[in-house]
């Protein structure tokens, strides 16, 4: 059997070839495959990492005193707060925009889908840095934001610099940009749900919105969550770009400090430590969400409770049960 | 019929969690024999079939195909888990047909059939294509070579799936409820192909609910319930004059 028999016919007529049935004790022990190189590889990796860590720590440029001093300093913590706030607000707005854009993109209405495509191509096609600067210096383009109607006159007018503060500009730039990227993620998720699901949802009388909200989106989320996790992480780190319009996030604050004290490396390490912590924390809700929305396709496990629940439901829909 | 069994299941035991689905199953299938595995759902017949090509691992016992323990290498009376390479090699001679067809959705019917011989057996493309077209004709789908699976009916897909398995020139074909997902009027075409195969002398193990097929085509019927073989024998015997109450009960519900 090891060397493949050169069978003559297509139709499955086998050449009669002998084979030996080995003498095999009943219930011969099953031995799992040994993995002799695993411990070796582990030791090797640990050694390399230990060496790198040692080289790093004994380096005089890495001033541990400075790192520890700034790790929990007020200026750092305020920066962390701003970074988290920017990320959260921009991401929520971005995802909302992304869902809207994805629905528009998939719509049969040519105006809606063209609009979505145009938006995505512009906001994905220009650098985030340029967009940030644009929103930050919006005042140059329009000194006032006003609404005037012919015959009625000016309804309101405010100086742009009062409304679009650096913070607002940062949120605008980040969320509009994130919406464009995430829209494609949401769209791929929606496309991954088979058509029959919508048809079934519509057949039980759901409206288009209900079908989308209750049937399509929960299934799409399974596909959406992993790349969306990437987006959130990219956003968290992307907030460091707002330094160009004087937002005072983590990176900007520390940049301001080291531009005066010249402790560049230690402060960059402080920033890295915080970003690493924040990103690690973000993966916790992500894996929770993945499990939550991946349940239906997870490998089946024997679940007693479910069947009991099922029996109860069955009983309640049979004519005798559930009435009294 | 060869004196040695081509497929030999030895004290095969398997459980999911603490639910035992196969209880020390023993079963020998001779070369050229066509065996139907029947039984109520949850009886373990599909699991047994999936153990035969090691899609499912077992807790103890083993399956010998042409004398080789599938998924294992025998050394000094112990069965050592085989490498992926060896397992892949063993599976070449074991064809599998699934309930849900599992055709490669991104390949045409012809490409589905050619994939194995080209990538796994490393046969030259012209020869493989010629053989694949012959197989397509054999399953009655010569004109559908360039269609993608989703453009075909379930019955057509299943016949392509059979052709795909046959292209590897297997020694034994395993069928896991091949007609259960099909419309009644499409079942006949698939069974017809399987009947032809049986007449050609292919060794086949078929998990099925098609009692008619089991009676007319199969050499032996094996009835399973609760992870055990309750009774087995000639189709005429087991299906028409069952000895065990469980078999009688099952057949009464089915007919």
Q: What is the pLDDT of residues A97-110, one digit of tens each?
A: 999 999 999 999 99
What's the mean pLDDT in A49-78?
88
pLDDT tens track for A195-236: 888 888 888 788 888 889 888 998 999 899 999 999 999 999
Identify the bridge partners of residue B64 per DSSP, sorted by sequence position.
Answer: B8, B69
Position B14 pLDDT exceeds 50: yes
Name the residue among B4, B10, B81 with its Cβ closest to that of A32: B81
Q: How far apart are the first and last CA of chain B?
A: 33
- Sign (positive/negative) of CA torsion B90, B94, B97, B103? positive
Looking at residue A16, what is its pLDDT? Answer: 53
Position A88 pLDDT exceeds 80: yes
Q: Is the Cβ pair B8, A21 closer than 8 Å?
A: yes
How far apart, in whole angstroms, are the C-alpha atoms of residue A12 and residue A16?
A: 12
Centroid of chain to Cα A50: 32
Which of A14, A22, A302 is the best substitution to test chain B (most B C-beta atoms within 10 A)?
Answer: A14
Which of A10, A18, A302 is the best substitution to test chain B (most B C-beta atoms within 10 A)?
Answer: A10
What's the mean pLDDT in A242-253?
83
DSSP A11: T
Q: Is the Cβ pair B135, A5 closer than 8 Å?
A: no
How many residue contacts between A and B have a Cβ separation below 8 Å? 102
What's the mean pLDDT in A298-312?
50
State how far residue A280 is from chain B, nearest Cα, in angstroms.
Answer: 33
Position A265 pLDDT exceeds 60: yes
Dihedral pair phi/psi, residue B34, rounded to 5°: -115, 115
What's the mean pLDDT in A264-270?
90
Q: Name the token pair of B21.
A: 């689905």
For B87, which residue in chain A has the nearest alpha carbon? A2
Name the residue among B61, B80, B173 with its Cβ closest to that of A27: B61
Looking at residue A301, what is its pLDDT? Answer: 53
For A304, which residue in chain B has the nearest alpha carbon? B19
Is A239:A87 a contact under the CB 8 Å cutoff? yes
Q: How many residues does chain A have?
A: 324
Residue from B28, B32, B34 nearest B191 by CA: B34
pLDDT tens track for B143-172: 999 999 989 999 999 999 999 999 999 999
Looking at beta carbons, which residues of chain A come within 8 Å of B82? Answer: 33
Looking at beta carbons, which residues of chain B come within 8 Å of A30? Answer: 58, 60, 62, 72, 79, 81
pLDDT tens track for B182-215: 988 899 999 999 999 999 999 999 999 999 999 9
Name the residue among A10, A28, A301 with its Cβ closest to that of B62: A28
Strand duo B68-69 + B72-75: pairing: unpaired
The phi-psi region of residue B101 (left if phi > 0; otherwise alpha if psi is between -120 and 50; otherwise beta) is left
Interface of A with B (CB under 8 A): 1-2, 4-5, 7, 9-14, 16, 18-22, 24-33, 301-302
For A25, which residue in chain B has the nearest alpha carbon? B77
What's the mean pLDDT in A133-141?
85
pLDDT tens track for B218-244: 999 999 999 999 999 999 999 999 999
pLDDT tens track for B58-112: 999 999 999 999 999 998 889 999 998 899 999 999 999 999 999 998 899 999 9
Which of B25, B171, B174 is the best substitution to test chain A (most A C-beta atoms within 10 A)?
Answer: B171
pLDDT tens track for A144-185: 787 777 777 777 778 877 778 888 889 999 999 999 999 999
Is B110:B132 a contact under the CB 8 Å cutoff? yes
CA angle B101, B104, B107 (to 5 degrees): 130
How far apart, in whole angstroms, are the C-alpha atoms of residue B190 and residue B162?
A: 9
How far apart, in whole angstroms, are the C-alpha atoms of residue A283 and residue A122?
A: 30
Looking at beta carbons, which residues of chain B come within 8 Å of A19? Answer: 4, 66-67
Looking at beta carbons, which residues of chain A come within 8 Å of B61? Answer: 27
Unique residue bearing structure tokens 């937002």: A247
How far apart, in whole angstroms, are the C-alpha atoms of residue A235 and residue B58?
A: 47
Q: Is the Cβ pair A10, B134 closer than 8 Å?
A: yes
Q: Is the Cβ pair A1, B67 closer than 8 Å?
A: yes
Q: Is the Cβ pair A30, B81 closer than 8 Å?
A: yes
- A62-75 as b/e: b if 16+ CB within 10 A: eeeebbeebeeeee
For B85, which residue in chain A has the nearest alpha carbon? A2
Looking at beta carbons, which residues of chain A come within 8 Å of B80? Answer: 31, 33
* CB neighbour list of residue B73: distance below 8 Å, 6 or more residues apart: B79, B80, B81, B82, B86
For A9, which residue in chain B has the nearest alpha carbon? B169
Looking at residue A241, what is its pLDDT? Answer: 87
Q: Is the Cβ pair B31, A32 closer than 8 Å?
A: no
State how far residue A268 is from chain B, nearest Cα, in angstroms.
Answer: 46
Q: Is the Cβ pair B138, A10 closer than 8 Å?
A: yes
Looking at residue B157, what is its pLDDT? Answer: 95
Q: Is the Cβ pair B4, A9 closer than 8 Å?
A: no
Torsion angle, CA of B85/B89/B94/B95, rounded to 10 degrees?
A: 80
Is B179:B187 a contact under the CB 8 Å cutoff? yes
What's the mean pLDDT in B28-52?
94
Looking at beta carbons, which residues of chain B come within 8 Å of A22? Answer: 64, 67, 74
Task: Specify the pTM.
Answer: 0.74
Looking at beta carbons, which residues of chain A come within 8 Å of B199? Answer: none
Name the residue among A11, A24, A26 with its Cβ closest to that of B200: A11
For A32, which residue in chain B has the nearest alpha carbon? B81
How far apart, in whole angstroms, are the C-alpha atoms of residue A48 and residue A36?
A: 20
Looking at beta carbons, which residues of chain A come within 8 Å of B77? Answer: 24-25, 28
How far apart, in whole angstroms, are the C-alpha atoms of residue A301 and residue A260?
A: 60
How far apart, in whole angstroms, are the C-alpha atoms of residue B210 and residue B191?
A: 9
Q: Is the Cβ pair A10, B166 closer than 8 Å?
A: yes
């Amino acid at each position: 059997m090891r060397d493949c028999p050169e069978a003559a016919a297509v139709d499955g007529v086998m050449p009669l070839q002998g084979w030996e049935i080995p003498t095999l004790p009943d219930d011969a022990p099953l031995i799992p495959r040994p993995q002799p190189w695993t411990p070796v590889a582990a030791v090797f990796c640990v050694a390399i990492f230990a060496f790198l860590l040692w080289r790093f720590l004994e380096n005089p440029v890495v001033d541990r005193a400075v790192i520890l001093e700034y790790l929990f300093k007020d200026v750092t913590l305020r920066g962390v707060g701003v970074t988290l706030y920017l990320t959260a607000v921009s991401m929520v707005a971005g995802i909302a925009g992304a869902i809207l854009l994805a629905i528009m993109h998939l719509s049969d209405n040519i105006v809606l889908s063209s609009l979505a495509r145009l938006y995505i191509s512009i906001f994905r096609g220009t650098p985030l840095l340029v967009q940030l600067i644009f929103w930050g210096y919006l005042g140059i383009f329009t000194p006032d934001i006003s609404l005037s109607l012919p015959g009625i006159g000016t309804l309101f007018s405010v100086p742009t610099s009062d409304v679009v503060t650096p913070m607002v500009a940062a949120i605008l730039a980040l969320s509009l940009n994130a919406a464009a990227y995430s829209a494609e993620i949401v769209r791929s998720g929606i496309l991954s749900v088979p058509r029959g699901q919508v048809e079934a949802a519509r057949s039980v009388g759901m409206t288009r919105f209900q079908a989308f909200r209750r049937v399509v989106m929960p299934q799409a989320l399974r596909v959406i969550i992993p790349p969306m996790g990437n987006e959130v992480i990219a956003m968290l780190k992307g907030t460091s770009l707002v330094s160009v319009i004087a937002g005072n996030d983590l990176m900007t604050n520390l940049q301001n400090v080291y531009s005066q004290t010249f402790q560049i490396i230690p402060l960059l390490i402080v920033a890295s430590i915080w970003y690493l912590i924040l990103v690690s924390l973000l993966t916790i809700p992500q894996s929770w969400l993945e499990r939550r929305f991946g349940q239906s396709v997870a490998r089946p496990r024997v679940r007693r409770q479910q069947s009991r629940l099922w029996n109860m439901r069955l009983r309640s829909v049979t004519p005798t049960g559930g009435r009294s | 019929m060869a004196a040695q069994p081509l497929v030999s299941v030895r004290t095969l035991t398997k459980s999911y969690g603490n639910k035992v689905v196969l209880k020390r199953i023993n079963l020998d299938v001779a070369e050229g024999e066509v065996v139907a595995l029947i039984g109520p759902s949850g009886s373990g017949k599909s699991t047994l079939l999936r153990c035969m090509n090691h899609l499912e691992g077992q807790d103890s016992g083993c399956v010998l195909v042409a004398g080789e323990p599938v998924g294992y290498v025998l050394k000094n009376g112990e069965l050592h888990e085989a490498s992926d390479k060896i397992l892949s090699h063993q599976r070449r001679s074991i064809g599998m047909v699934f309930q849900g067809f599992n055709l490669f959705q991104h390949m045409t019917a012809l490409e589905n059939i050619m994939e194995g011989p080209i990538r796994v057996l490393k046969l030259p493309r012209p020869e493989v294509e010629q053989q694949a077209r012959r197989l397509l004709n054999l399953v009655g789908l010569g004109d559908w070579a360039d269609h993608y699976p989703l453009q075909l009916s379930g019955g057509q897909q299943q016949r392509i799936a059979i052709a795909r398995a046959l292209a590897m020139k297997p020694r034994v074909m395993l069928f896991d409820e091949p007609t259960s997902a099909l419309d009644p009027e499409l079942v006949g075409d698939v069974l017809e192909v399987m009947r032809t195969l049986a007449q050609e002398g292919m060794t086949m193990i078929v998990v099925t609910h098609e009692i008619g097929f089991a009676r007319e085509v199969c050499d032996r019927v094996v009835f399973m319930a609760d992870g055990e073989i309750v009774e087995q024998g000639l189709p005429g015997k087991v299906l028409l004059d069952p000895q065990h109450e469980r078999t009688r009960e099952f057949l009464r519900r089915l007919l």
